[in-house]
Structure 1
Amino acid sequence: MEIIKELPEVFEEFSEQRRNSFLSVKEIKESGTPVIGAYCTYFPQEVAMAAGAAPIGLCSMSDEAIPEAEKDLPANLCPLIKASYGFAKSDKCPYFHFSDVVVGETTCDGKKKMYELMSDFKELYLMNLPNSQDEEGRKLWRAEVVKFIKYLEEKFGVEITEDKLRDAARLKNRERDAQRKISEVMIHDPAPITGENLFNAVYGSTFKFDKEELIGSLNALTNRIEDEYNHGNMLDKRSRILITGCPMGSGTMKVVNAIENNGGVVVCYENCSGYKNFDRLVDAEADDIIGAIADRYLKIGCSVMTPNENRYELLGRLIDQYNVDGVIDMSLTACLTYNIESKSIGKFVTEEKGIPYLSVETDYSKADVGQLNTRITAFLEML
């Protein structure tokens, strides 16, 4: 049976949240609340919240502004980097426009050099991310978090206390719990909703500024889905797909559509648009709260880390938890770290987990929609 008719309207509200919040960010800025923009999951949001600021993710997920970016950046660069720069330079991203500062991070060489150009027209604070999650990397990253705290204190004339950091960590943990709980409805087999609806709910939630309202909305939606499932409202039985790889957004939903229009359902997103963003919590009661915040973020399993053991740990756990039939690894064109790591991820999925694996490389254009549908349909038929 299909899910009740009213629920898609709720998912549409979450889907439109990014656009609806354009006005909200203007109102927040006019109220005197600082706005801090960022692009990456490594950005320690608790620090911004403890400073009394509103953290927000910036536009980087469609090809709308890429032509403007390519006036300054090479055409064969990762589309996420080009889109980030293009939206910023053309002033087509309200979140960027109203940000008092943009926080960048040295995740890859392309981003690092792009931020240099961006700093010509926007105040930009760069956090130096280590390329390893060992003890030396931990020390370096904790020191970067300390420097970021001092920067925000000086910029906004505030004091970021341990109590404020703990309060922010507790609130963010509750938000992550709410995002994880709604994702876990997909453990049901058959799935209760489509992967597209799940993505809209989780991704859209990141653009709500009122955290308490957000947590309440997500928990209410989760309860509603579970209630409908208990009354027999669910999808037909389909092949269960996990998506791993690069962050997803509007420009790459064609991959989800190719899966779900051809008999599959995306039951889990392991990438930064999904589980990586809310899998781990901050130990808000730790003696060293700054270290606890730093540790939580540094443990994110991104391909920029060498070695990247945490990605394999999370991926393996989710394959088992969600009873996954196959894994699709989506890499963006010219994202070298994810492109290269796809070989070892494929080996892990097929040999250690014993399920089929498909790697696809794409960008934000519509040029490869037909090819994606052909390859993904063949993969689903094999399942």
Structure 2
Amino acid sequence: MNNLPEIFEDFSESRKNGFITIKNLKDDGKKVVGTFCTFTPWEVIHASGAAPVSLCAKSDEPISEAEQYLPRNLCPLIKSSYGFAITDKCPYFYFSDMIVGETTCDGKKKMYEFLGEIKNVHVMQLPQTNKGEDAYRLWRNEIISLKEKLEKEFNVEITKEKLMESIRLRNRERLALKEFYELGKMCPPPITGFEMYKVLSGASFKWDKEAEIKDLRDLVDKAKREYEEGKRKVSKDAKRILITGCPMGDATKKVIRAIEENGGVVVCYENCSGIKEISRLVDEDKNPIDAIAEKYLNIGCSCMSPNDNRINLLSELIDDYKVDGVIDVILQACHTFAVESYKIRRFVNEEKQIPYMNIETDYSQTDVGQLNTRIAAFIEML
């Protein structure tokens, strides 16, 4: 599983290789804006001329340092993100001129207060619901506030034309990513879930979007060509698994491995490190601020109440990808996803009539044996 084809390795290594790229961009005078969440509007940052980069950390390496300031029973994603910030082990944080956070959970919004002592932090106040005109107006105003903050900090003007240009580019990237992850609809798929994860997680660290779009299309063409030639990476008997829940990172590859080493294949990732944000485009026919507000507000995250958009997307994906079972990956102390798991289980079991299991884990590798046992039993049951 670790021996990825060269083109997959390119995406897999993009986060690490991007360290040099981001330094070169800084040396050339480009501004860098760190982000933590898919709710942060990429198009607005890009239209300012800055490079948006993800700071959302998914490793247990700096957690012990973070726990000197943050509670031990806090979500590992928050502790990891803060730990990388205070230890200067993350070049992306180091080179960021500004950081944009959003109030998706209480732990993150309190952590941003500490980050604000180190860096220039702008926090977007996300509504707790995407229902109604009041929520839309609040979020639209937050996007305008971000636009004005970027203009002031970087001494630029974010025009309607620049926003439209960024919208079109990002939509083209989303479509290329969509074409790639839809390879998972094929039976059996021409790529493994591990390969799909590597590309989806690495794409955000490729700053030349035109080159990335070309690489994605080349990758899709290659996969389809080899498939037509009769090459099969995945057994036709492999059980088709959809992963939902919290963002996944290198530390949670243990879940993918457990699935794909025990007779399953991950055909779809319905989470914010997967296809949740990519699945919907920004409307290019509307006023750009309105269109961006509408698109991002409708991301189906568990921080929203009610969260009908997650159910609707799950329903569509389960049917389109011919899913045999759903695995819900929940990070320890992520209360919104943990509470919502009951609703997801009921929907998957009763309405879609397929098996469901949830896994609560963190970024350590101490539960690998237990995960293998539980997931092997789940897949055997399928």
Range into which the TM-score falls when normalised by the shorter chain: over 0.9
Indicate the SS of the match to 2:347: helix
Q: Deviations over 1:356-383 (max 9, x none)?
A: 0001100000111111111100000000
Query: Which residues in structure 2 correspond to 1:269-348 (within 5 Å)?
Result: 269-286=269-286, 288-348=287-347
User: Gaps (5+ residues) in structure 1?
Assistant: none
Name the aligned partner's letter for residue 258 of structure 2: A
For 1:33, the equivalent position in structure 2 comes to 30
User: Quick one: distance in 2 between partners of 1:357 and 1:6?
Assistant: 30
Indicate the SS of the match to 2:241: strand
For 1:351, the equivalent position in structure 2 comes to 350
Q: Work out which of the residue numbers 165, 188, 208 in structure 1 matches 2:186.
A: 188
* 8 Å Cα contact 1:59/1:93 also seen in 2: no
Name the aligned partner's letter for residue 138 of structure 1: Y
For 1:17, the equivalent position in structure 2 comes to 14
* 8 Å Cα contact 2:37/2:56 also seen in 1: no
User: Quick one: distance in 1 between partners of 2:289 and 2:230?
Assistant: 46
Query: Which residues in structure 2 correspond to 1:1-383 (within 5 Å)?
Result: 8-134=5-131, 135-234=133-232, 235-237=234-236, 238-286=238-286, 288-383=287-382
* 8 Å Cα contact 1:269/1:275 also seen in 2: yes
* 8 Å Cα contact 1:59/1:95 also seen in 2: no
Segments of 4+ moved more than 4 angstroms = none
Provide TM-score, normalisation by structure 2: 0.98
Indicate the SS of the match to 1:95: helix
| Percent identity of equivalent pairs | 56
Q: Deviations over 1:226-261 (max 9, x none)?
A: 111111112212000000000001011111111001
User: Quick one: distance in 1 between partners of 2:272 and 2:56?
Assistant: 15
User: Quick one: distance in 1 between partners of 2:4 and 2:22?
Assistant: 27
Name the aligned partner's letter for residue 45 of structure 1: W
Change (3 A) 1:6 1:221: farther
User: Quick one: distance in 2 between partners of 1:9 and 1:196?
Assistant: 14
* 8 Å Cα contact 2:22/2:95 also seen in 1: yes
Report deviation, 1:354: 0.6
Report deviation, 1:285: 2.1
User: Gaps (5+ residues) in structure 2?
Assistant: none
* 8 Å Cα contact 2:35/2:56 also seen in 1: no
User: Quick one: distance in 1 between partners of 2:163 and 2:105?
Assistant: 28
Q: Deviations over 1:178-198 (max 9, x none)?
A: 111100011110111110011
Q: Deviations over 1:55-91 (max 9, x none)?
A: 0111511101101100000000000000000000101
User: Quick one: distance in 2 between partners of 1:358 and 1:365?
Assistant: 20
Provide TM-score, normalisation by structure 1: 0.97
Q: Deviations over 1:20-57 (max 9, x none)?
A: 00000000111111100101000100001110111011
Q: Deviations over 1:182-231 (max 9, x none)?
A: 00011110111110011101111110011101111111101110111111
Indicate the SS of the match to 1:282: coil
How many residues are matched?
Answer: 379
Indicate the SS of the match to 2:268: strand
Indicate the SS of the match to 1:182: helix
- Calculate the aligned-residue CA RMSD, in Å: 1.2
Report deviation, 1:6: 9.5
